[in-house]
């Protein structure tokens, strides 16, 4: 369970949010909503321990979140691309799975790629992909890296309806497996049961 108690965050003299408290249990999904600049990404960054809050604490399964906890339990897909433009898709997949210390069989990897892309030339360079394809390649990590908590920043942005449906299938399976999901999103595309937190 992720529990946030009286969290406040300031950047310089700007108070981004104040006294936020929320709770998400395993098997639940929470969607953070709010206009641009309300601090959705900043709140996610606080939960991931990328940023230090001004006040308050964030607890995961009874322990205050630190680097060790976030790297062991959290998988994060942000808005920006993290893959290397100059590497092929195949090399990018191998590289980022190695970074996350994941071993996979060729069969599992091919199945996952087939599920998300239908068809994909893995020898293409990352920069040759469209915006949506780049996003999908990053979302592939959701299928290959096994961590109990998914934190996704605007995951549906730039994706077509068919891909959104596939991502919803992944989210459903994650919740069935007692996973915990935190999403920030502008779009109301989620057909799944979820909690909403308005910033």
| Footprint of another protein (CB under 8 A) | 45, 48, 50-51, 67, 70-72, 74-76, 78-82, 84, 86-87, 91, 94-103
Report, in Å, the least distance between residue 76 CB and another protein: 6
Per the CB < 8 A criterion, the answer to whether 84 and 100 are in contact is no
Q: What gap in Å lies between CA 102 and CA 120, rounded to an integer?
A: 22
The answer for residues whose C-beta is within 8 angstroms of residue 5's C-beta and 6 or more apart is 21, 56, 57, 58, 59
Report, in Å, the least distance between residue 140 CB and another protein: 13
Report, in Å, the least distance between residue 81 CB and another protein: 6
- For another protein, give the closer residue by CB, 45 or 133: 45
The closest of 20, 22, 16, 21 to 37, measured between CA atoms, is 16
- For another protein, give the closer residue by CB, 54 or 190: 54
Per the CB < 8 A criterion, the answer to whether 139 and 77 are in contact is yes
Report, in Å, the least distance between residue 56 CB and another protein: 19
- For another protein, give the closer residue by CB, 104 or 194: 104
Report, in Å, the least distance between residue 74 CB and another protein: 6
- For another protein, give the closer residue by CB, 127 or 188: 127
Q: What gap in Å lies between CA 96 and CA 87, rounded to an integer?
A: 11
The rounded radius of gyration (Å) of the Cα atoms in the chain is 17
- For another protein, give the closer residue by CB, 76 or 117: 76
Per the CB < 8 A criterion, the answer to whether 192 and 27 are in contact is no
């Amino acid at each position: 369970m992720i529990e946030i108690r009286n969290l406040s965050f300031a950047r310089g003299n700007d108070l981004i949010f104040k006294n936020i408290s929320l709770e998400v249990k395993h098997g639940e999904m929470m969607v953070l909503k709010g206009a641009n600049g309300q601090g959705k990404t900043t709140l996610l960054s606080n939960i991931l321990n990328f940023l230090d809050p001004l006040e308050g604490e964030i607890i995961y399964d009874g322990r205050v979140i630190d680097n060790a906890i976030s790297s062991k339990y959290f998988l994060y897909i942000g808005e920006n691309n993290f893959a290397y433009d100059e590497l092929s898709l195949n090399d990018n997949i191998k590289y980022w799975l190695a970074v996350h210390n994941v071993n996979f069989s060729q069969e599992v990897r091919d199945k996952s790629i087939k599920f998300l892309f239908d068809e994909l030339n893995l020898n293409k360079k990352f920069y040759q992909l469209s915006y949506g394809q780049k996003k999908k390649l990053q979302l592939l990590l959701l299928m290959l890296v096994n961590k109990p908590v998914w934190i996704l920043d605007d995951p549906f942005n730039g994706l077509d309806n068919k891909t959104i449906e596939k991502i919803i299938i992944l989210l459903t399976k994650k919740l069935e497996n007692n996973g915990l999901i935190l999403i920030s999103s502008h779009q109301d595309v989620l057909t799944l049961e979820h909690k909403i937190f308005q910033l």
